[in-house]
Amino acid sequence: MGDTNKNYPIFIKNNQMTTKEAFKTHIEEGYATKGEAIIMGAAMLDGEAVTGAHVRIPLKTLNRHGLIAGATGTGKTKTLQVLAENLSEKGIPVLLMDLKGDLSGLAQPSPGHPKIDERHESIGLPFTASSFPVEILSLSDQDGVKLRATVSEFGPVLLSRILDLSVTQEGIVAVIFKYCDDHKLPLLDLKDFKKVLQYATGEGKKEFAKEYGRISTSSTGTILRKVIELEQQGADLFFGEKSFEVDDLTRIDENGQGYINIIRLTDIQDKPKLFSTFMLSLLAEVYDRFPEQGDSDRPELILFIDEAHLIFKEASKALLEQIKSIVKLIRSKGIGLYFVTQNPTDVPNEVLAQLGLKVQHALRAFTARDRKAIKLTAENYPDSEYYDTKEVLTSLGIGEALISALDEKGRPTPLAATLLRAPMSRMDVLTSDELEEVIDNSKLVRKYNEVIDRESAYELLNEKIELAEKEAEKEAEREKERQPRSSSSRRRSTRQDPIVKVLTSATFIRGVLGVLKKVIR
């Protein structure tokens, strides 16, 4: 659970070593809280935990966002687990992105261990094993509550950002949405969107040109290819009904504990565009639906985004700007965003600057690039008279981290190398039977897992085209009947009448579609 015999550099002042008593006072004053707080562990000095020097994070500042970073195997997931447990215990719901599949153990109590007891004795905090209310969610075919959204709910701007479209292409998407609104064509899934896109430059070309202006075939072809690329990453499972209501993320159980909502993402690690699509949709929906909260004493919801580099690495410039804007604005809604990644440099500086809580696990200096990253990381933390930050970053053990937070007045707390408390729940995955039991007992599974495929743009446009073709055939028949019949004794001309030729041409049949504008109004 971490080596407590390492020597951390300590500050020498006036040739006298700073005492543990002075250090403890320094920590207690810096992390003092009047309201509710989460105890992360005990601050460390000279490689040992100072018992009772608790590092407290005020609930009041948890909507100021945060970062959990560190090399593989240093304990990031367990830190995330500790935060989620303590938030739930205080009645604050949590949403976790589980890309590695190791967070489901939150639903079962810890079996305990002598090392855990030893750690908590050093911290000066009793250990209590506990389970927490868990909801399993899914973006794919995996078991769990299905997360879906309709194309209409996404809107033209967000969809264009996801597809990384040009200004001209964005305009076409806006026209597609406007046409569907004007003609009451529900855009539910990508099948609907593709159908309208094809119709705009095919059978409905004249109709679109008359009402909205000419649409370029090359532009719609580019948009269609990008939609297909999104489909290939599994987005066809995400777009559709029944849409997930974000209010269901804020449920509290009968014991007053906030639900821990775990999204299973183990099968989409190689599908970053789908992950980005979902995350941006979720953040936009939460921002839109949640009321302004101002400076309240506790957050409404905390979201942990594991493997955060997947969002930023694959995001287009336009998408990054959208994410940065949401991060800046969403905290006023009482929502906290916590990015979990290996290195803080994975997160853009504009986002990093918005993060109030930083939990930095050990970094490894194997290469010159690693050493440069460590130097940059150290510069993101406040100066400390007790630590050489660069040295500490490479000396931390498993379950230890540098912590910098905000106090209740929004001021930075002292930098603290912290021996972190152990999770109260199981530090392992659920068995198949345990997972099945959680899913079977879920009210949300019954609410969202029914497949709905109601009549939408795809079906209505197909019907419209079919009616147009039938009407064109009838009109051609009526016109044929109106032609004077020639004498039976007279030889029939093999040349087709010019009028009949026009009436039976494909061009005319497409043109007749104009008379069907009333069909779906």
In single-letter form, the type of residue at position 339 comes to F
| pLDDT reading at 88 higher than 60 | yes
pTM given for the model:
0.80
Q: Is the dihedral of CA 82, 83, 85, 89 positive or negative?
A: positive
| pLDDT reading at 469 higher than 70 | no
pLDDT at 488: 47
In single-letter form, the type of residue at position 40 comes to M
More confident residue, 459 or 178: 178
Lowest mean pLDDT: which of 403-417, 454-468, 486-500?
A: 486-500
Contact between 122 and 419 (Cβ < 8 Å): yes
How far from chain centre, in Å, is Cα 64? 18
Place of tokens 């440069």: 372
pLDDT at 11: 43
The candidate with the shortest Cα–Cα distance to 195, out of 399, 487, 396, 465, is: 465
Q: In what order do the strands lie in the sheet with 37-45?
A: 48-58, 37-45, 416-420, 400-404, 357-360, 66-69, 335-341, 301-305, 94-98, 260-264, 134-138, 145-146
Contact between 287 and 169 (Cβ < 8 Å): no
If DSSP codes are grouped into helix, strand and coil, which group holds residue 384? coil
Place of tokens 């599949």: 101
Instruction: Work out the number of other CB atoms within 10 angstroms of the CB of residue 246.
Output: 17
Distances (CA, A) of 440 to 143, 145, 174, 199, 255: 10, 10, 41, 43, 20
Q: Find the DSSP H helices in 75-148.
A: 76-89, 114-123
| pLDDT reading at 486 higher than 70 | no
pLDDT at 283: 84
DSSP single-letter state for residue 216: -
pLDDT at 468: 65
- pLDDT bucket at 64, cuts 50 / 70 / 90: very high
Percentage of residues in the chain having pLDDT higher than 70: 85
Mean pLDDT estimate for the chain: 83
258: β partners: 252
pLDDT in tens, 253-277: 999 999 999 998 877 666 777 777 7
The candidate with the shortest Cα–Cα distance to 424, out of 136, 95, 135, 125, is: 125
pLDDT at 13: 44
Contact between 192 and 314 (Cβ < 8 Å): no
The candidate with the shortest Cα–Cα distance to 9, out of 37, 44, 35, is: 44
CATH architecture of 12-147+241-448: 3-Layer(aba) Sandwich (3.40)
Q: Where are the domains of the chain?
A: 12-147+241-448, 457-486+495-516
69: β partners: 341, 360
* Residue 448 tokens, joined: 């969202």
pLDDT at 502: 36
